Every structure is written in C-alpha cells, then in structure tokens.
Amino acid sequence: MEGLKEILDQMSGASGEDRALVEKAYVFASQAHKGHKRLSGEPYLVHLVETAKGLAALGMGSKTVAAGLLHDSIEDVGILPDTLEKEFGKEVRFLVEGVTKLGHFKYHGAERHRESLRKLLVATGQDARVLIIKLMDRLHNMRTLRWVPEVKRHRIAMETLEIYAAIAHRLGMGLVRKELEDLAFEYGYPEEFKETKTLLHEKAKETRSRLEHMTRTLRKELAKNEVTKFETDYRVKGFYSLWQKLMRKDRDMSKVYDIAAIRIVVPTVADCYRVLGIVNNLWQPLPNKIKDYIAFPKPNGYQSLHTTVFAGDGGIVEVQIRTKEMHDKAQYGIAAHVIYKEKGGKTPGGRATSFDWIRSLIPGFGGRAPVPKLSEQEKKRSRYGAPSAPEWLANLDEEEVDDPDFETTLRTDIFTHRVFVFTPHGDVVDLPLEATPIDFAYAIHSDIGDHVAGVKVNGKMVQLDTVLENGDIVEIETRKGAYPKRKWLDIAQTTLARRHIRNALERENK
Ligand code: MN
C-alpha cells in the first residue's frame, strides 16, 4: 500500500469519497496486474502508481487519478470496459478507453503526416484529461526507456519528441515538455545530446556564479524600491531546446542569451511592470529584447515579461518577470488552468486563454474567429450527435464563463467536423465527415484516385460509396484500365476529388 499512500499524499484537498475511489482503483489495479512485470523486472504496479502520482501532483481530480491507475488494464490484462464502468462509473471507463485508443497510434516518421497525427491524437483524446494521462504515462515510460530493447528506443524517442513533447507544449505544460524532450533527445540523437551536454557543462559553472551574484544585487535593489513580496530563482535551459537554438545560431554558444534565466515572481501584473523598470535600470538591457508576453501572450497562453541584460562582467542574462499564477501556468499549463478556474481565479491580463491552440486545430476555427453554427443539415450528419458547433471554444475567451467541471467543457468535438483514417502503413489521412474511399484515394495522389479499381476497408472489400469512419484502415487497389465514372461526382465529398474527377471525365470525352 506504499504506492497508494504516495498518491494520496499528493491529493491534499481531496474529499473522503475521492480518496476512496483512488484506493479502490489501486486495489483493483494491483489485483488485475498481479504477476505482471515491467521490462525492468519491477512489478507493473510501479508504472501505474507513477502515472497516477504525476496526475495527482498536477492537481487532477480523483477520476483522472483513478484512470491513471487503470490505464493499461484493458490493453495489457484484458479487463473489460464494462467491468470498469460497473466498478468505477462511466467517466473512468471513458478515460481508460481513450488512453487505450491513443496507444494504438504509432509514429512512422513521415514528415507530411506529423501534423495529422498530432491532430488525430488531440481529436481522439476528445477530452484533455485523456491527453494528460497519456503524457504522464509517456513520461514514466521515458524515464525507464533504458530497459526497453535498443531497437525500439529510437522510434519511441522520436515519437516522444515529434508528437508528445509537441502536445505538452501546446497544452502549455512546460515542465513535462522539458523532461520529455531531454529524455528523448538522449535516445533520439545520442551524438548531439553528448555534444550539447558537454557545451552546457563548460558554461554552467561560470553561469551559476554570475546568476548568484546578480540575484543578490537584485534582491537588494528590489528592497530599496520597497518591493518586498517576491521570489527569485533561475532555470537552466533544457538540453534539447538549447540544441535547437544552437542550430539556429550556427552552433555559436555565445549567441544564446537564455542558457540560464533569472525568474522573478511577484503578486500582481502592476508589480511585473514595476520590477521590469527596476531591472532595466539596474543593468543595461539589449535593444529589441524586451518582450511583453503579458499584453501579448504566446499562442499556448504563456505570459511573462522578458528582458535580456548585460550582466556587467561580459555576460548576458535573460530575466523573466511574472505573477505566481502565470508561473504555475507556464509550468503546468492546462492542468494549472483547471485549478485556477476551480478556485474562481481570473486570467491576469485576460487577453488569451491557453486554449487558442485547440481552436487552431479545427478547420475553419483559425485564430480567434467566432465559431460558426452548424446548419440543420450538418447537425443531422454529425453521427456523434453534438447539438452544435463547439460552443465552449467560443466561450473560452469570456472571463465570466463558469467552468464548473472540466468534464464537459474540455471535450473537443473535432469529431463532428473531421474523420481520421489510415493508410495500410499507419499514416493518417484527415478528411471531412461523410468522406468516401474516392476522397481518400485522391487525398493520397491524383494518379491513385484516377485508377481506383477496388477498395478494402479494415481488410474487407467494400463499395466505393462507403462512408469512412474514424480509425478505418483504407487500402486502394488500382488498375491501369480503370477510370473515374460520372456517378463518382455524387460519391465524392471533397472539392479536390470532384475537380480531378471532372478533369478526367473531360479528358475521356475528347
Ligand atoms: Mn502505460
């Protein structure tokens, strides 16, 4: 029961009922995975506890923590979804099934499909909690990657870099992203990792003593200006993000100014601007390096004031100034957003939420454009029965929207607009609802579309007008003598396919 205690220790504010649910999940998981071992030889339960602990530490609710304990029970030990629902309720079942589904998608390294795969994961996640569980699962798997056979490590590391770290970034989860990236960097690019590590080591000593000195000076100066409530610390850049920056700066370490940064956390937004003035007065700032991400947050919701200053000893250092809430959101992202919402807090600066990225994933919802309503016909066509366009997306901008539970508001209904299917190689193709194999064929290549002879969906021959469903594996058989038919124009849903069909029919007429 040691593991259970560790999880509950992270759930300080939880009710007796919440604790009971987590305990029940713990007992259930330890029974279900009895005798089941990790590649490290450890009991499988260790992995489940670590996943759940990470979720509890992020402040997630008891159902999410319970789902963290149960997340491999369907896939690995054959527990039935119905059993989960009977024991733990609909929501826990939904979360575990969601994570199980995500586990089936694999990254194959095709550049052009990378964005589709990310979208697919988000869409399949449907609920940000599913993604957060998956990220905590992946984090522990990365921490224990050395036990995985070498042949598999590289693929898993690349998948982590390209897909999961990117999702963590979009969710604004800075700490998770950094750890995922640094763990994956070591296995994905071993040579570059070693090189970067050595470079950072050489720099670290000089940097640390400079930062300590600057922090002392800064504390005195703030006190002199009667700023009494503040915290300072400093952070060193992650290996992977340092390496990426080095690539952009011709591998010249002296051009990277934010290897280390001083952070100042103050109570209010007004304090942030005041402290910025004090810092820029104390040390000479570099021109064009003063960034106001409070008035203009980054797309993932990040807020802070940045300035880069001459330290006076030949060094250059970045200083980041923010409120406690901005700091928590930068570290924990969407998870912190939920906690602050629950406490009834408001987003300081109030200009953006960390959800803009979700909007950007939905076709036609780019940027901050108002969310259009679906027509009656579109409503009928939506097989998920969503009543309208994702209204919660539009509402997220408004401060007064109350967000009583994460449960309903974070569900994305990307599914009411797009369907994601696979090629036999596992590449993802992103199509409109009601799309058919004809649309799929033309999305791959016009040559394939023009010579469709037959189609298999999930291994079975089907008619060309079959409506594709999420997750279908579609295989097109082509024949040289096969040509588009007029009735294909009614079958195709995409303008791309229709245009090609029309062209082909015209060519034939001549
Ligand atoms: Mn797992």
Computed on alpha carbons and rounded to an integer, the radius of gyration of the chain in Å comes to 26
Residues 143 and 260 in one domain: no
Q: How far is the CA of 69 from the centre of ligand 1 (A)?
A: 9
pLDDT in tens, the chain (510 residues): 889 999 999 998 889 999 999 999 999 999 999 999 999 899 999 999 999 999 998 888 899 999 999 999 999 999 999 999 999 999 899 899 888 877 776 665 555 555 556 666 665 555 678 888 999 999 999 999 999 998 889 889 988 988 888 778 767 788 899 999 999 999 999 999 999 988 888 887 778 888 889 999 999 999 999 888 899 888 888 899 889 888 888 888 878 878 888 999 999 999 999 999 999 999 998 888 899 999 888 766 789 999 999 888 878 889 999 999 889 888 877 666 555 544 443 333 332 333 433 333 333 333 322 333 334 443 333 322 222 223 333 333 222 223 333 223 333 333 445 677 877 776 677 788 889 999 999 988 899 999 999 999 988 999 999 999 877 789 999 999 999 999 999 999 888 899 999 999 998 887
The span from the CA of 96 to the CA of 437, in Å, is: 31
Residues 254 and 273 in one domain: yes
Let me know if residue 237 belongs to a domain.
yes
Q: How many helices (H) and strands (E) does the chain have?
A: 25, 10
Residues 323 and 234 in one domain: yes
Q: How far is the CA of 397 from the centre of ligand 1 (A)?
A: 34
- Strand (E) or helix (H) holding 377: helix 376-381
DSSP 8-state class, residue 246: H
Tell me the CB-side half-sphere exposure of residue 101, using CA atoms within 13 A: 19
Q: How many CB atoms lie within 10 A of CB 431?
A: 19
Q: How far is the CA of 455 from the centre of ligand 1 (A)?
A: 35
Let me know if residue 438 belongs to a domain.
yes
The span from the CA of 72 to the CA of 65, in Å, is: 13
Let me know if residue 383 belongs to a domain.
no
Note the pLDDT of residue 355: 40
Beta strands in 299-404 (DSSP E): 305-310, 316-323
Question: Domain limits at 423?
Answer: 418-509
Q: How far is the CA of 60 from the centre of ligand 1 (A)?
A: 18
Q: How far is the CA of 29 from the centre of ligand 1 (A)?
A: 12
Note the pLDDT of residue 199: 86
Residues 309 and 233 in one domain: yes
Which residues does 286 contact at the CB level (< 8 Å), separation at least 6? 257, 308, 309, 310, 316
Note the pLDDT of residue 451: 95
Catalytic residue from among 75, 87, 397, 403 = 75
- For residues 93 and 85, is the Cβ–Cβ distance under 8 A? yes
Residues 129 and 239 in one domain: no
Point out the domain boundary residue: 156, 187, 218. Answer: 187
Residues 312 and 459 in one domain: no
Paired with 476 in beta bridges are 455
**C-alpha of 21 from chain center:** 27
Q: How far is the CA of 131 from the centre of ligand 1 (A)?
A: 13
Residues 224 and 323 in one domain: yes
Let me know if residue 356 belongs to a domain.
no
DSSP 8-state class, residue 473: B
Note the pLDDT of residue 371: 33
- Strand (E) or helix (H) holding 452: strand 452-457
* CA distances from residue 96 to 87, 133, 136, 348, 363 in whole angstroms, order as listed: 13, 9, 13, 34, 28
Burial of residue 121, with CB atoms counted within 10 A of its CB: 0-12 exposed, 13-18 middle, 19 or more buried? buried
Let me know if residue 292 belongs to a domain.
yes
Angle at alpha carbon of residue 207, lines to 206 and 208, rounded to 5°:
95
pTM here? Answer: 0.65
Catalytic residue from among 76, 85, 91, 407 = 76
The span from the CA of 125 to the CA of 145, in Å, is: 24
Note the pLDDT of residue 414: 37
Residues 134 and 230 in one domain: no
Let me know if residue 376 belongs to a domain.
no
Q: How far is the CA of 457 from the centre of ligand 1 (A)?
A: 29
- Annotated active-site residue 430? The verdict is no
Alpha helices in 126-227 (DSSP H): 128-143, 150-159, 165-170, 174-188, 190-224
Residues 92 and 52 in one domain: yes
Residues 264 and 326 in one domain: yes
- For residues 486 and 435, is the Cβ–Cβ distance under 8 A? no
Point out the domain boundary residue: 187, 209, 226. Answer: 187
Let me know if residue 312 belongs to a domain.
yes
Paired with 292 in beta bridges are 305
- Strand (E) or helix (H) holding 241: helix 239-248
Residues 175 and 104 in one domain: yes
Point out the domain boundary residue: 187, 204, 223. Answer: 187
Provide the domain count of the chain.
Answer: 3
- For residues 259 and 311, is the Cβ–Cβ distance under 8 A? no
Let me know if residue 346 belongs to a domain.
no
CATH code assigned at 59? 1.10.3210.10
Residues 241 and 278 in one domain: yes
The span from the CA of 510 to the CA of 461, in Å, is: 33
- Annotated active-site residue 413? The verdict is no
